[in-house]
Chain A
Amino acid sequence: MHRLFTCGTLPLTPLFGRRSRRLLPLLLAGATVVTACGDDSVLVEPPQPARGIVVLDGFIQPGLTLLADSGSSSSRVLFGAPTEFDAGAFTLERDTVLATSSRAAGDLLYIADVRTGGMRRLQLPTRSNPSRARLLRGSGGQALVGVALRDSGAIALVSVSGTNVPSSTRIPNAGLCPTDFFQYDNATWVVDANANCRVNYALVGDVRLIRIPNTGTTRDTVVITGMRGSGAGAIVIGDVAYVSAGGDANFSSFPYVLNRSGSIARVDLRNRRVLQLRSMPTGTYGGSAKIGLDGFLYVSLFQDLANFRSRIMKVRMDDLSFVSGVPASATTSWLSLIDATGTAVSCGSGQADALGRVHCIANGAASATSLIVFDPAGREMRRVAAGQGGVDLSLR
């Protein structure tokens, strides 16, 4: 999930109409500034480049590589040994990075401040198998962080204050395998992968949204029929949640079998119903979605289960249609990104800045990571070293 409005929720729902599509990138870019600065003058500012790029190095020497919008210099925030970190994604909310280690790496929560380079590591319940972490509140050195605990079927709420010992509470009965969550309308909404994550992540049923009111014990469940995936996540814009999941495949034996491709859905939170479900292109696997600063959704996936080429889909928010024709001659559903020689570039974890420039990461020999930036036409315009073992990226 990538919540843009953690300082306050703006009523963006009316903007989702087709007429307002052209205004949306501008509004979203400005809204990000609102989030960070609390400034009201967003609508008169032109789109700005990203303040910085954060790459998560998930393997080898785990940590963050921080880059600027130009130049080749970078700095690092170290997380720890590879046996203590195995996250494949992270969340960046304002200047706070949150990432978690699963049960295989010690059930840990990492909180990093990309401005100061500080990092704090917290122990989560043993064998709880954490998934996404979200910054629910944060100011003045105090923060409330929520973490979806897959094997515990719960959401942990961790209060952090300076260097004090954190305290935590738990929202139990939060689904079979909660992988993400958000707060909306005095309730916690859990994205439940509905999978047997405790054992082998085998899918039990369709992905669900489980609404847990802040008071009371009732549960409302919205089943996203047809959506499958053990790594489901959500992005909330106003009253709409964009839920995505990677699909269903059998990796237990060769050859791998794709049962269902990933998908993305729009869910009306106010009325608690699924508005639309869009499957990713036939044969693809994966579906990790980010919202670009240009107002489009960017979904990372594998082209197929044969060669696992990473691809990036550009998706319109209002009707979940794919933006094809990038470049104009391309016929594929995904972005056909090319380097200076016209050779196709395969990269994952992409996100566009407010100028529509797609940023993505690619790992080369010895897992050396490159940040690659493409202009709106899909041509490579920047390539810079960005650490090693990169798995995820986010723009500030």
Chain B
Amino acid sequence: MAISMLPALLGLALAPVDSVTLCVEDALTRAPMVGAQVAVLAERGGIGPWRILAASCARVPIGALQIRRVGYRARTMDLAATTAHGESPTGSTVDARETVAVVALWPISQRQPAASGPDSAAQLLPTQRVQATADAQRASRVAVSMDVAAARAQGIGTTSGLLAALPFASLRSARGETGVSVRGARREQVAITLDGMPLNDPATGLADVSDLPLSSLGSANIVLGADPLGAGPGASGGVVALNSAPQRSASARVGAFGEELVEGAWHTVGAGALWHASASHRRAENDFTFDNDASASGAPLRERRVNNDEQRSTVALGSTGAQVQLSAFASTGERGMVGPANVRAYDADRSRSTRVLVRGQFTRDGVQAVSGVRIFSLHYRDPSRPSLDATARAIAGDTDVRGRWHDVGLRAGVGADGVRASGGIAQSRGRAFAVTNYERRSSRGSLDVGGRVDAIGTFGALPSFSLALERVVLAHEAREASLTVGARIAQAVRVPTLYDLYFSSPQRLFVRMLRPERVLLDAELQTRVESATSLGRVSLQGSVVARQTRDAIVWFPGNFGWSPANVGMERLSGAEARVRLQPRWGEVSSWFTVYDAMLTSGALRIPTPYVSRVAGGGQLQARLRGVNVSTLLRVMGPRPYTAGPRNPAFELPTVTLCDVALSHRVTLSATEMLVSLSLENATDARWQSVRGFPSPGRGWAISTTLRHLP
């Protein structure tokens, strides 16, 4: 802090300036936003022409401004008043030329806190303190964000890699797909969204993010705990929210196991809107060596993975105007479907998946309408047994309207899901929901309470609620220190997926009734401590959590193949903690979770598969003159891999993974070049994220990213 204040102490703050850098972000998620529009308010009450911000940050004239963006409440702020004082919120004198004004826009459905003045929307920060990975602020929730630019500096080149680097996230991948588990939940209990649009396949309940290009994303947020109001059904364990961000960039990456990746993004302003496009192509051989511990000899055999290659192509288009935002995303990928390590029967099998997402939103007079369509298709080919080739296509459509009435947020929508697949599988159903919530926020705390009712298929009305309280119990402004405590309780529901419904009745004639999975109680007590220290800003957050789920939908072998059933009660209890230090030269953070996730059915006590009792991770980033050195550490304790009683013989062993990266950032005129060299799994740990499917050992990658600076 002292060094950052040096220019101010030298009197530079008194130099006259006529512009300042304005950054726009989502008030809830803290995600940087592109496509906002800014206009200067004239003294006599008029308003100047709207300027579209092609980046999340841009130089704007000092004065009274109005900022708006589709889907958000417009805000007015007076930068002249702010910069004239030349003071940060902490009272420190800063140089306006080195200052970033951060304005947080509130989604239309959220209540905007009462403003004490026209400039209260802006938080004035010295440039040096602007963090690329500001954490999301959600009442009484553990929420963490990661910015894509920061991730690239850590050598991360894929969306899967981005999620793997998120604290509290546990990734699983068997045959190229990527699923996420958070807070001891099964993968289908985690909602993954892209700009608010669910990515979970209605047929399986799973969301695969492996085909999303990093070039189209700006940030990723992970929010732990059930989110019935925001994400709705399916978000029992938490939400991973991906945010797109138009940019001008090009990136190329080569790496171990035949990895090649090129991607690019471009945007321009025209016809009153920001238009953007991105595309990517990635391929990899994935022919890594692995230890086949399933061999019959008793000793692991060193083998090489075959038919594990993949190639994916994506394209994304979009426009953001004053009232309308449109986006479309299409991807196609093909990969080998090699089986478990000891099985050669699938060596020739291939799959091709295609995904199309289209979304539009319209905002007017404080009311926002959002519509989206998602199409997922999968073709599975078995050259040695063509009669077993299979095709599946799922489609989902949603429309909702959101707004506020006084202090109450309102949202309602309808939708439909359908799936058709080989073998005569055909399922469809309609959906409808209504949400209302009340929020109260102040500098001393917040209250967020709401209820939701879903009607899905024939399951009738499915109510759920959420209540969160947060209170700053201690605050020391001079030291920017605070102690916040919070509590949250919620209910949630997850209806059977379309495949659940189909396979719950193997005979197809007499449908076995499958009930929705109900989170009776998702409770959390949280405390958060933040303080500025001589080393840098320190934050510490910890939670104790409990979740009780009735009628958990779990697949077990039935009388004719596997089928899902409502089995018993699933209980989770545990604790989460994260500490983070943000010195000027970088960041150090560490997280830790302890969970006891157990399904009880009759006399059986079954730990939730793939949930570690103990897990943790850490991150170290050091920046010096454009050079960034980072280390990412992940530790997973023993993970049960069957839906059977706890038995060490059926657990994956503890694994420690370490990624290291070195990157160098060079700015040439308006272009920034980032060159990154990374070592993934640097210690060459032999491990499996899914039993029987080996993960790669040590790998390397070199990437170059060119980014146009606004």
Shortest Cβ-Cβ A-B pairs, 3 listed: A83-B692, A123-B296, A106-B342
Considering only CB atoms, which chain B residue lies closest to A105 in the complex?
B343
Stretch of B57-65, B460-468, B640-648 that contacts chain A: B640-648
Q: In the complex, A261 Cα to B384 Cα: how many Å?
A: 29
- A60 B556 Cβ-Cβ under 8 A: yes
- B297 interface residue per 8 A CB criterion: yes
Q: In the bound complex, how far is the Cα of B421 from the Cα of A252, in angstroms?
A: 12
- Assess the A82–B510 pair: CB atoms within 8 A: no
Known A81-B692, A106-B343: A366·B294 in contact at CB below 8 Å: no
Q: In the bound complex, do residue B508 and residue A80 qualify as a contact, i.e. CB atoms below 8 Å apart?
A: no
Residue B635 lies at the interface, judged by CB distance under 8 Å to chain A: no
CB within 8 Å for A108 and B340 given contacts A363-B557, A366-B602: no
Q: Which residue of B lies closest to A346 (CB)?
A: B559
Beyond A61-B650, A199-B384, 5 additional contacts (C-beta under 8 Å) are: A61-B647, A81-B692, A84-B342, A106-B344, A123-B296
Please name the residue on chain B nearest to A79 by beta carbon: B649
User: Contact at A308–B647, with CB atoms within 8 Å?
Assistant: no
The answer to whether B649 and A254 have CB atoms under 8 Å apart is no
Query: Which secondary structure dominates where chain B touches chain A?
Result: loop
Complex CA–CA separation, A256 to B423 (angstroms): 10
* B405 touches A (CB below 8 Å): no
Q: In this assembly, does A139 line the interface, its C-beta being within 8 Å of a C-beta of chain B? A: no
Closest A residue, CB atoms, query B556: A367
State A224–B509 Cα separation when bound (angstroms): 33
CB of A200 closer than 8 Å to a CB of B = yes
Number of A-B contacts (CB under 8 A): 134
How far apart are the CA atoms of A129 and B344 in the complex, in Å?
A: 11
Q: Does A278 contact B (CB under 8 A)?
A: no
Q: Which residue of B lies closest to A121 (CB)?
A: B296
Alpha-carbon separation in the docked complex, A122 to B294 (Å): 11
A366 to B562, CA, bound (A): 11
CB-CB under 8 A for A200 and B385, given A60-B642, A388-B644: yes
* A252 neighbours in B (Cβ, 8 Å): 423
Using a CB–CB distance below 8 Å, which chain B residues touch chain A? Answer: 294-298, 339-340, 342-345, 384-385, 387-388, 423-424, 506-510, 554, 556-560, 562, 565, 567-568, 599, 601-604, 606, 641-645, 647, 649-650, 691-692
Distance between Cα atoms of A22 and B349 in the complex (Å): 56
Question: Given A255-B508, A366-B601, A127–B294 Cβ distance below 8 Å?
Answer: no
Is B557 a contact partner of A254 (Cβ separation < 8 A)? Answer: no
Q: How far is the CB of B382 from chain A (nearest CB, A)?
A: 9
CB within 8 Å of B: which A171-219 residues: 198-200, 202
Contact of B344 among A127, A253, A255 (CB under 8 A): A127
Residue from A83, A126, A305 with most neighbouring chain B CB atoms (10 Å): A83
Is A126 in contact with B424, judged by CB distance below 8 angstroms? no
Instruction: Pull 17 A–B residue pairs with CB atoms less than 8 Å apart, ordered by A.
Output: A61-B650, A81-B294, A84-B692, A103-B345, A105-B340, A105-B342, A106-B294, A108-B296, A126-B344, A306-B507, A306-B510, A307-B509, A363-B557, A365-B601, A366-B643, A368-B602, A389-B557
| B643 & A81 in contact (Cβ 8 Å cutoff) | no
A43 within 8 A of B: no
Nearest-CB residue, chain A, relative to B643: A60
Mask: chain A, 98-140; 1 = CB below 8 Å from B; 0 = not? 0000011111110000000000011100110100000000000
Whether the Cβ atoms of A365 and B385 lie closer than 8 Å is no
Which positions in A face B, CB cutoff 8 Å? 58-61, 78, 80-84, 103-109, 121-123, 126-127, 129, 198-200, 202, 252-256, 302, 305-308, 310, 348, 363-368, 385, 388-389
Q: How far is the CB of A74 from chain B (nearest CB, A)?
A: 12
Which of these, A60, A126, A365, A385, contacts B557 with CB under 8 Å?
A: A60
CB neighbours of B339 from chain A (8 A): 104
Cα distance, A58 to B643, chains bound together (Å): 13
Q: How far is the CB of B174 from chain A (nearest CB, A)?
A: 10
B642–A61 touching, CB < 8 Å? yes
Return the contact of A106 from the options B340, B384, B510, B565 (Cβ within 8 A). Answer: B340
Cα–Cα distance between A302 and B507 once the two chains are bound (Å): 12
> In the complex, A366→B508 CA distance in Å?
21
**Contact A80 B294, beta carbon cutoff 8 Å:** yes
Chain A nearest Cβ from B49, distance in angstroms: 62
Complex CA gap A104/B344 in Å reads: 8
Quick one: closest A residue to B603, CB to CB?
Answer: A385
Chain B residue, CB-CB nearest to A109: B296
Q: In the docked arrangement, what's the CA distance between A255 and B344, Å?
A: 32
Q: In the complex the two chains form, is B295's CB within 8 Å of A123's CB?
A: yes
CB atoms of B510 and A307 under 8 A apart: yes
A165 to B606, CA, bound (A): 37
B507 to chain A, nearest CB (A): 5
Q: Is the CB of B387 within 8 A of A200?
A: yes
Contact B554 A104 (CB under 8 A): no
Asked if A367 and B557 sit within 8 Å, CB to CB, the answer is yes
Known interface pairs A61-B650, A81-B641; A308-B507 also in contact (CB < 8 Å): yes
> Is B294 a contact of A365 with CB atoms below 8 Å?
no
In contact, A198 and B385 (Cβ under 8 angstroms) = yes
Alpha-carbon distance A325/B448, docked complex (angstroms): 67
B692 with A199: CB separation less than 8 A:
no
How far, in Å, is A139 (CB) from chain B's closest CB? 23
Given A123-B295, A200-B385, A366-B606: A254 touches B601 (CB 8 Å cut-off): no
User: B559: which of A78, A308, A366, A388 is its contact (CB, 8 Å)?
Assistant: A308
For B345, give its contact among A60, A104, A254, A363 (CB under 8 Å).
A104
Return B505 CB to nearest CB of chain A, in Å.
10
The answer to whether A83 and B340 have CB atoms under 8 Å apart is: yes
Contact check, B342 vs A254: say whether CB atoms are below 8 A apart: no
Residue from A78, A80, A126, A200 within 8 A of B388 (CB atoms): A200
Separation of A202 and B387 alpha carbons in the complex (Å): 10
Residue of A nearest to B296 (CB): A123
Q: Which residue of A lies closest to B174 (CB)?
A: A83
